[in-house]
Amino acid sequence: CRHCPDRPCQCTCVVFGDPHYHTFDGFLYHFQGTCSYLLARPCWEVAGLPFFSVEAKNENRGVDGLMKTLPVQLQLGAVRVYQSGMAVALETDFGLLVTYDGQHYASISLPNSYFNNTCGLCGNYNDDPADDPVLPDGSLAESVVALGGSWRAEDADWRCTDGCAQNCSVCEPLTEAFYFRPDYCGIINKTDGPFRDCRAVVDPTAFVYSCVYDMCSNRDNITTLCQAIQAYALACQALGVTIRTWRSHTFCALKCPESSHYQVCTSACAASCSDLTSHLYCNRPCTEGCQCDPGYVLSGNRCVRRQDCGCEREGLYYPLNDTFWPTFLCVCSLSFQIYSMGPGYFGATSVRWRENA
């Protein structure tokens, strides 16, 4: 949290893998509950400090039942939702940043104005990991099941449980030792490895053990291994630490969509049809992800040529040829105009939305 030489200090809680919870203060625990749980919110009201609440459920779900094409701006830009590397980011004007990759990794970053004032599974943000497993009444939890159950949020799923209490992931000693090898989970803390510059900033030990934990639950699953390594890579990059290329064509290769390519360090605020210059004033560290090829920008989750960008209306973006209903049916379409340029002609293409009765 204190490693922020060129920007306002923020602290990050990471939830990843089976899942594992790496709190704002760096405490790590494994909790397999399947209900909805409070990750973080202010414990009490402070003048001038906005309230927020971030909850999570360990399964695939939609967001409020609505599907929108990114980016989205709400409340005159006070809340922005956009593509950031391989994740979707929600950012507010008071410094809250939530990211989720839709699979195994989520993070919550907060400015130090919330120091010593967070409640939930992400801990209390007071720079002391020892008191992070705390119950709502202020006492320390006797088990992770008790900890998770105490921070349950409203959930209509009557079948959900708070998970197993012990021996949730067990390996034979030889198998466990195999996963600790430097060509498996051990790559995370190799002194000469791709993350060597991060070792002094983000303790790799917890991430190595989390990786082995997950590998023991999903034997020889290369996807599990890659996701565990990626969790550490993203945690490092979130704090502005440079990491080396760790993926290759034969190890954890990342396939990118058409008209894009993989970069270990691409802008966390990629240029999009809605904001062609967002990468120029982005104040967030770079992150690994798929970067649009030269001449292309993001339109939703696709890279398109700039002339194929869509339309914007009331803070929402619509891809080309998309239809939407503000008050009546609209179609995002191309219009063509010809401008006289001396003896010849110059054709210009513009995008507009067409209203249909």
Handedness of CA 70, 71, 76, 78 (dihedral sign): positive
Token code pair at residue 256: 């990118």
Token code pair at residue 265: 């360090």
Say if CB 285 and CB 237 are below 8 A apart: yes
* Domain spans, the chain: 1-60+102-164, 169-253, 260-305, 307-355
Say if CB 83 and CB 70 are below 8 A apart: yes
pTM over 0.85? The answer is: no
Say if CB 185 and CB 208 are below 8 A apart: yes
The rounded distance, in Å, linking the Cα atoms of 275 and 297 is: 9
pLDDT by residue for the chain (357 residues), tens only, comes to 654 555 556 889 999 988 899 999 989 998 988 899 999 999 998 998 999 999 998 764 446 556 677 888 888 889 999 999 999 999 999 999 999 998 899 999 999 999 999 999 999 999 999 999 999 999 999 999 999 999 999 888 888 888 776 666 778 899 999 999 999 999 999 999 999 999 999 899 989 999 999 999 887 789 999 999 999 999 999 989 999 999 999 999 999 999 999 999 999 999 999 888 888 888 889 999 999 999 999 998 899 999 999 888 877 888 888 887 766 678 877 654 333 333 333 333 334 444 443
Q: Roughly how many angstroms between the first and final C-alpha of the chain, as a whole number? A: 54
Q: Looking at the chain, how many residues does it have?
A: 357
- What is the number of helices (H) and of strands (E) in the chain? 4, 20
Token code pair at residue 23: 């709190």
Alpha helices in the chain (DSSP H): 144-150, 173-179, 204-217, 222-238
Q: How far is CA 87 from CA 140, 282, 297, in A?
A: 33, 16, 17
Token code pair at residue 75: 């409340």
Q: The tokens 């194929």 sit on which residue? A: 308
